[in-house]
Amino acid sequence: MFVNPLLRWLARFYSPFLKIGSNLQSLFLIYLRIIWGHRLFLLGMEKLHDLEGTIKFFTTLNLPAPIFHAYEVGIVEAACGILLILGLASRLAAIPLIIVMVTALSTAHAEYVGNLQFITDPHLLAIQHPYPYLFTGLIVFIFGPGRISLDAWIKRWADKQPKY
């Protein structure tokens, strides 16, 4: 069988970059989880400590049941922030986080994203306050928490247990 020498050389040249990139993936994921998870936890606690202000803000947005949503958003942000930091149930935690951030973008930031102008000018979306949290939630949901997480530790531990 003939193997093109150029393709063989390219494969050998590219192989170390694949290995480096794969090893950096978990470091990137833990960085995202810790930085944005910590900030998300602080935002949730801030909302829960200033419930009156949060309720007033949600009332100005004409959200139904602003009291319920103030508690809901505060608890989701704080709990998902902790879970992201720990890397515990990360993909499950990312789901309510994504929902809350999409809701925030479509209500409080509707003037910037409502007309879909962000499709031609992505900067309009990227500068919105909920965007990094939405992006982090999507990354963790799609790629998982990485090898440096409680999820990965639990999986490694469970794989070592005897199968009955």
What digits encode the pLDDT tens for the residues 116-151? 777 888 888 888 899 999 999 999 999 999 999 999
For 70, half-sphere exposure in the C-beta direction (CA atoms, 13 angstrom radius) is 20
* pTM attached to this predicted model: 0.86
Q: What are phi and psi of 6, to 5 degrees?
A: -65, -45
Which positions ≥6 away from 28 have C-beta within 8 Å?
Answer: 146
